Amino acid sequence: MSQPENGGQPVASLEAIQQQWAGLTLKVAQLETEQDALEHENKALRTLLEMVIEHRKKSHGELVNQITNLVSKLPLNDVAVVVARLVEHSSQVAEVSNALIKGTSEGDILQPAVLKAMAKSKVDMRAAVKPLIEELIRLEAPFDPPMLQAVIANPESFFLPATVRACRGYVKGQVPRERIVKEYGEEALVFFKDVTTDVKFNPKPKPEEVMLAFAPDFEAVLQHNPGVLPARHADLLALHRKSRGSRAATEEARAQKIAFLKLSFVLELLHYYDNQQIESPDIIFAQRLPPLIEQLVITPESEKLDENLIKQAEWLLSFVLHPDHRQAVINNFGKVGGLAKSLRFVLTFRPGKFTEHDPETTEFVKHLFSLSKVPSPSAIAAVLRLIGPNMQKSVIRGVIQSDRMRREDALELGKAIAGELNLPDFIAVVEQQAATVMDTKKAWEQVKELIYARSSPNEIAQAFRKRLHEKYDSEEVRESWLTLAESDPMLLIRVFCLLPYLPDGSTDPIARPVLESYATRLTHEKYEAIYGKVVHALRNLFKVKADSPALVNFIALVKWVDPASADKLAKDVGMAGA
């Protein structure tokens, strides 16, 4: 016989149900009223939340517009990147706001992208620690293996005093005293030399801070003391071999050093990201990490850069999240020149986008010229092969436009570099530029012949205007200035005064920018000698006749295009005091 569903509870009688029915009905009605009130309150809260989110979207959009207006005043190369980041950030805010309103947001959608990237970078760095430590152990680096294996489980142990002393000993070819005493006992100290204790500067160092170096004649000392730890002589010889091998000029020693530098970089950066509240970014990115990158790629015996090592350096730099911090690491080595400076420019230009007008390109070209007394196409091409084709072309254009050599020689050098780099299309462009330069040079040689023939200033000014109207660009203006600067200072003054006026008396439309370029160049320190001659001629005019038309017109025209230069000229001539 089956048991009843309610077990042993008695069944309520009809009279009891009828007596409690009124109270039950009242409770149900009360619950329904409270439910309606909660629904109304939830609707009001949802409406308020939507208003807040919508207001947040609008205010954020206005903020982005204001920041964009401010950013537009930055240098042109920086505007596009910053505006792109602002637009991307604004779209992400709009996406998150819509997801919140629709109720489709995921658990981590509110986490900023930079925090996601940092979390991923930390995971990747922790994953990279184990292979590097295993490689150090496999290469038989003179470290205590258990100490290295402890770093895998706890990366922070790399910064414990004992580990720091062991790393310092590895770099200097020394061994901590505490390790020798722990592994071999006090008797083994006879085979080592104390390099820490100093009678004058450090007479009583702490025992755990004492560093030891193997005795210079270690093997002879070992043979003269056969009764001291006879069972451990093989282990001591193995440690001595590892210590000497780590500092030898061999492939094994270089592989050990590369693994150690990569491990140090990863752990230093991981420690900074875990302790950003107490660590200074200037110290980590300007002092600690740059030497690791430089030593990784460049050795004292290096004659050229190795692209495989450069790729490993880029792999390490990819863990640095902020582009400014990454560039700070690159900018803080190679300041003395040589291969280190070449590496700095290569790491800057490989991922970058620069034109021949950027200051970085100009500095790169100056460095390439400094690689040899006479700029060598093969030496320059050897460095440019390490960057992309687009950046190669930008640097070659910078070489062609450099003022460190004659224009014709710069064109020939650029053509030779393009040939070394196998850029046939670019060679054709360079040849076309060379033809243009030769045409420009020939045209201004004809103007110089007029100057040498002592033609009138009016004829020379007409020749200037004719050529500038035939072809007007920055190179033509530069050549016209150089042609004028080589002439007599009085002829320069008279041509300057006649140049703006056409034969019919109207003003030449290109006169103002041309004269502005002349005035700027005249007062530049590069043309100080020419400026001195012009000032001397003007001063003589002022002494002979203060209201000389040439003097007054010249100062007035300079003031028309550049008031600051006119004030400087008037002061140097003596007109301001008069």
Residues facing 507 on adjacent strands: 501
State the average pLDDT over residues 10-30. Answer: 77
How crowded is residue 365: how many other Cβ atoms within 10 Å of its Cβ?
25
Name which of 173-177, 275-279, 437-441 the model is least confident about: 437-441
Give me the numbers of helices (H) and strands (E) for the chain, helices first please.
Answer: 26, 3
Q: What average pLDDT score do residues 33-62 get?
A: 82
pLDDT beyond 70 at 106 = no
Residue 149 is predicted with a pLDDT of 93
Please report the pLDDT score of residue 340 as a whole number.
93
Cα dihedral sign, 558-559-560-563: positive
Q: Give the pLDDT confidence score for residue 105 in this predicted structure.
A: 58
Question: Over the range 48-75, which residues count as b (16 or more CB within 10 Å of their CB) and which as e?
Answer: eeeeeeeeebeeeeeebeeeeeebeeee
pLDDT of 1 > 80? The answer is: no
Q: Which uninterrupted H or E stretch holds 214?
A: strand 211-214
Task: Give the rounded distance of the alpha carbon of 384 from its chain centre.
Answer: 18
Quote the pLDDT of residue 108: 55
User: Residue 103: what pLDDT?
Assistant: 67
**Cα–Cα distance, 350 to 386 (Å, whole number):** 7
Q: Provide the 3-class DSSP secondary structure of residue 501.
A: strand
Which band of pLDDT confidence, cut at 50, 70 and 90, is reported for residue 138? very high
Please name the residues in contact with 458: beta carbons below 8 A apart, sequence gap of 6 or more.
Answer: 498
Tokens linked to 27: 């409770």
Residue 491's CB is within 10 A of a number of other CB atoms, namely 17
pLDDT, tens only, 301-310: 888 899 999 9
* pLDDT of 205 higher than 50: yes
- Tell me the C-alpha to C-alpha distance, in Å, between residue 498 and each of 92, 212, 252, 465, 566: 61, 84, 75, 10, 17
pLDDT digits (tens, 9 = 90+) for 394-405: 898 888 878 788
337: alpha, beta or left, given left = phi > 0 and alpha = psi -120 to 50?
A: left
- Measured over the CA atoms of residue 115, residue 119, residue 125 and residue 129, the dihedral's sign is positive
Q: Compute the mean pLDDT over every residue in the chain, rounded to the nearest whole number.
A: 85
> How does DSSP classify residue 287?
I
Predicted local distance difference test score (pLDDT) of residue 109:
56
pTM above 0.85, yes or no: no
Is-contact 265 314, C-beta < 8 A? no
Instruction: State mean pLDDT over 107-136.
Output: 83
Q: What percentage of the chain carries pLDDT values higher than 70?
A: 94
Report whether 304 contacts 339 (CB < 8 A).
yes
Mean pLDDT score, 355-370: 89
